[in-house]
């Protein structure tokens, strides 16, 4: 096996592992959002990130 094949296999392997980790992280975030969402309450329909940004901007506007 040449050095180029080894490098290519390494890069592809790291890419596959990185993609899997990213998809797993997104899946965990989606599951967390599904567990914390109360569809009867419109305030919980936002994701956690949107709520944090909204709360963060409200805090800066008032202080």
Q: Give the pair of three-digit tokens for residue 30.
A: 């989606």
**45 touches 37 (CB < 8 A):** yes
H or E element at residue 55: helix 48-62
pLDDT of 7 reads: 96
Count Cβ neighbours within 10 Å for each residue of 41-63 and write b for 16 or more, e otherwise: eeeeeeeeeeeeeeeeeeeeeee
- Per-residue confidence (pLDDT) for residue 63, from 0 to 100: 46
Per-residue model confidence as pLDDT tens digits over 21-32: 999 998 888 888
**Regions of the chain with pLDDT less than 70:** 37, 44-63
């Amino acid at each position: 096996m040449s050095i180029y094949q080894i490098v290519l296999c390494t890069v592809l392997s790291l890419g596959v592992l990185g993609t899997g980790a990213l998809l797993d992280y997104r899946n965990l975030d989606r599951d967390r959002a599904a567990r914390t969402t109360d569809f009867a309450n419109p305030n919980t329909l936002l994701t956690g990130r949107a709520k944090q940004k909204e709360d963060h901007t409200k805090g800066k506007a008032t202080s």
